[in-house]
């Protein structure tokens, strides 16, 4: 088992990014997001974005989670090492991740989602080890705080399972694992079941989104259950690899968010292995 145990049962959570439109429209705060997640039926939340007064809100977050009866399933940071490696700005990006590690530790989050990133003209051969050096420094810092870093398949120089596994195997630390974003694999040319199968043994987080293939071959983001991804199969693969943590909805579809999120949750719950 990978240490992210919940008594042998996977549970549904939601990342705060799912409600980006509500935050953009000033309809929601971090507190009201936690309340909304609980009332909708999620058992956990990924936090990390959209603080108005971060210091004040973080001081109250544990109480909000307790009051609404939801767990902190993870913390997220939107870093991009690929954009800065080899430049004088790399230190700023390292500090961004270290600050997020501090935040995760303060909130007692077990895991922090991170990216590799990339930039135009930066090839895999040129960038992979520079990015790996950043991961190594952040992993050492995270280990001191008791926080596991979870690398997401998110394009750039960590778009496929083979690229993710390069970093994971080279870092070779219990504090550097994978955020298995089931839908993202397909966005970068890898079938979801293949990407999930390769990375599931290293899962410390799981993100859930669905895609529908269009007649022209392009992929459209849709509510979970409306697309072509077999989540029952993907969840079983992840469970059988030893993961029994949260699976967190990352809603990006065009359907009105309140409706689409509720529909997505219903399908996630139906698809979870028992």
The per-residue pLDDT for 182 is: 98
Helix (H, G, I), strand (E, B) or coil at 213: strand
Position 3 scores a pLDDT of 37
Q: Which residues contact 270 (CB under 8 A, 6 or more apart)?
A: 225
- Ramachandran area for residue 221 (φ above 0: left; ψ -120 to 50: alpha; else beta): beta
Residue 34's closest CA among 76, 71, 77? 71
Q: Is the dihedral of CA 118, 158, 123, 229 positive or negative?
A: negative
Longest dimension (CA), the chain: 50
Instruction: Tell me which architecture the domain covering 12-271 has in CATH.
Output: Alpha-Beta Barrel (3.20)
Considering Cα of 22, then 16, then 199, then 210, what sign does the dihedral take?
Answer: negative
End-to-end CA distance of the chain: 17
Per-residue confidence (pLDDT) for residue 8, from 0 to 100: 61
CA distances from 115 to 36, 138, 159, 193, 251 (A): 27, 12, 10, 21, 18
pLDDT tens across the length of the chain (274 residues): 343 444 468 999 999 999 999 999 999 999 999 999 999 999 999 999 999 999 999 999 999 999 999 999 999 999 999 999 999 999 999 999 999 999 999 999 999 999 999 999 999 999 999 999 999 999 999 999 999 999 999 999 999 999 999 999 999 999 999 999 999 999 999 999 999 999 999 999 999 999 999 999 999 999 999 999 999 999 999 999 999 999 999 999 999 999 999 999 999 999 999 8
pLDDT of residue 149: 99
Residue 274: predicted pLDDT: 87
Q: What is the pTM of this model?
A: 0.96
pLDDT confidence of residue 20:
98
Contact (CB, 8 A) for 246 and 6: yes
Question: Can you state the percent helix, strand and coil of the chain, rounding each to 5?
Answer: 45, 20, 35
Helices (DSSP H) in the chain: which residue ranges? 20-24, 30-40, 54-68, 90-106, 124-145, 161-171, 184-187, 192-199, 231-240, 257-271
Alpha helices in 176-230 (DSSP H): 184-187, 192-199
């Amino acid at each position: 088992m990978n240490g992210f145990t919940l008594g042998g049962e996977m549970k549904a959570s939601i990342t705060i990014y799912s409600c980006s439109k509500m935050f953009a429209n000033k309809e929601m705060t971090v507190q009201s997001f936690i309340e909304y997640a609980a009332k909708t039926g999620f058992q956990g939340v990924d936090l990390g974005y959209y603080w108005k007064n971060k210091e004040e809100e973080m001081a109250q977050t544990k109480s909000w989670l307790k009051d609404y009866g939801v767990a902190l399933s993870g913390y997220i940071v939107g870093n991009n090492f690929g954009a800065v490696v080899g430049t004088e700005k790399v230190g700023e990006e390292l500090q961004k991740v270290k600050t997020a590690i501090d935040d995760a530790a303060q909130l007692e989050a077990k895991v922090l989602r991170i990216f590799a990133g990339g930039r135009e003209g930066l090839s895999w051969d040129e960038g992979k080890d520079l990015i790996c050096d950043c991961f190594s420094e952040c992993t050492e810092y995270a280990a001191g705080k008791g926080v596991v870093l979870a690398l997401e398949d998110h394009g750039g120089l960590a778009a496929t399972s083979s690229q993710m596994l390069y970093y994971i195997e080279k870092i070779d630390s219990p504090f550097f694992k994978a955020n298995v974003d089931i839908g993202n694999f397909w966005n970068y040319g890898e079938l979801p079941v293949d990407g999930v199968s390769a990375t599931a043994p290293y899962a410390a987080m799981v993100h859930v989104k669905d895609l529908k293939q269009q007649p022209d071959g392009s992929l459209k983001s849709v509510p979970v259950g409306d697309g072509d991804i077999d989540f029952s199969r993907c969840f079983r693969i992840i469970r059988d690899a030893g993961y029994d943590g949260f699976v967190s909805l990352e809603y990006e579809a065009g359907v009105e968010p309140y409706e689409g999120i509720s529909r997505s949750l219903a399908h996630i719950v139906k698809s979870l292995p028992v």
